[in-house]
A = this chain, B = another copy of it.
Amino acid sequence: MEIEPTYRDLIKELKEKKIRLSYQRVKILDYLNQHRTHPTADEIYTGLIAEIPSLSKTTVYNSLNSLVKANLIQELTIEDNENRYDIVTETHGHFKCEECGRIYDFKVELDSFNPEELKDFQINQKGVYFKGICKKCLETNQKNLQNEE
């Protein structure tokens, strides 16, 4: 696979971490870049299997773990039964709708937030997860109520 020049230094950095940017991994990265829905490993697998018939689900898991370790992507643990992946590695909040399951991004300023209780702690990662019902679902519910009358 031809690699664009802009990726040169990235690849170099990965080489130092001994993480190769293989065909499969680039495709997974590309999928995450085009699908900003915070997909699961299974969704990524299903989305790529047509284009890469040889793809193994194990490869998806292995690749995602490598990419997380290289800090190219972020792993989200919102529900206990599924990990999700995000190509945006900067700290931001995630809202999961308990009705439709969609996950929304929102801005959160946490750089300046260092709680007293964690003084002298080394903080590596900050996660903010909200749950509730999204605007779309609230509107749908409202319409259904009106139709029932």
Chain A contact residues, CB within 8 Å of chain B: 77-83, 93, 95, 98, 104-108, 115-118, 120-135, 138
Contact = CB atoms under 8 A, between A and B. Distances in A.
Given A93-B115, A118-B130, A130-B118, A98 B124 contact: yes
Given A123-B132, A127-B127, 11 more contacts: A77-B78, A95-B117, A104-B118, A104-B121, A106-B115, A120-B135, A121-B134, A121-B135, A122-B132, A125-B130, A125-B132
Contact of A117 (B104, B124, B131): B104
Contact of A95 (B83, B98, B118): B118
Given A77-B77, A80-B80, A120 B138 contact: yes
